[in-house]
Amino acid sequence: MRNKGNKITYPIIFFFFSILFLSCKKYPENTLWFKKPENIIQGDYKITQYTINGNNYIDGLSTQLGLDVTTLEWHFYENHGSGDIYGLNNDVVGLYKFAEKKKKLSLTFYSAYFDPPNQVLQTIFAVSSGNWDIVKLINKGKPVLKIKRVINGNAYEIQFN
């Protein structure tokens, strides 16, 4: 009789643990397995992919701005519950904060000291603030952040490595 009870108990336990681990998936392209996104996002990045409606636009963006956007460095650092984004000339150019159960990244950009950074930021991010869907966030040796957002009917996707 005891043996029959174990045959029923083990599958039930296995089922509940499977549901628990499968529900840990945080972002469409990766899992975080018990890691805080606030700790993972911190690091130094460069834009490696930039698409509009699925089309690679990184060269067009560089031409439009008159500079190679893949060489611009972006630094994300924690700052008391939100984070500072340093970019362009290592000036603070914005803030980031996780939103909507940490599935979105709220980005707010502003000109640090002069107008050219503001024009670059407006061109790259298409808006000065708003929530971006987090598609991928990992930090295994080299951090990767991939975000997407629809603006004026156009789907923007930016990947930082």
Higher pLDDT, 6 or 147: 147
Higher pLDDT, 114 or 61: 61
Domain ranges of the chain: 28-160
pLDDT over threshold 70, residue 90: no
For the domain bounded by 28-160, which CATH number is listed? 2.40.128.280
pLDDT over threshold 60, residue 119: yes
* Burial environment of residue 126 by CB neighbours within 10 A (0 to 12, 13 to 18, 19 or more): middle
pLDDT over threshold 60, residue 57: yes
> How many other C-beta atoms can be found within 10 angstroms of the C-beta atom of residue 38?
15
Higher pLDDT, 34 or 53: 53
**119, 112 Cβ separation under 8 angstroms:** no
Residue with tokens 């890691």: 35
Is the backbone of residue 15 left (phi > 0), alpha (psi -120 to 50) or beta?
alpha
Which structure tokens are listed for 35?
């890691």
Separation in Å, CA 149 to CA 10, 20, 34, 104, 105? 44, 29, 26, 10, 10
Q: What is the pTM of this model?
A: 0.76
Rounded distance, CA 157 to CA 125, Å? 10
Burial 79-91 (b: 16+ CB within 10 A, else e): eeeebebbbbeee
pLDDT, tens digit (0-9, with 9 covering 90-100), for 17-51:
555 454 455 676 666 666 788 878 888 889 999 99
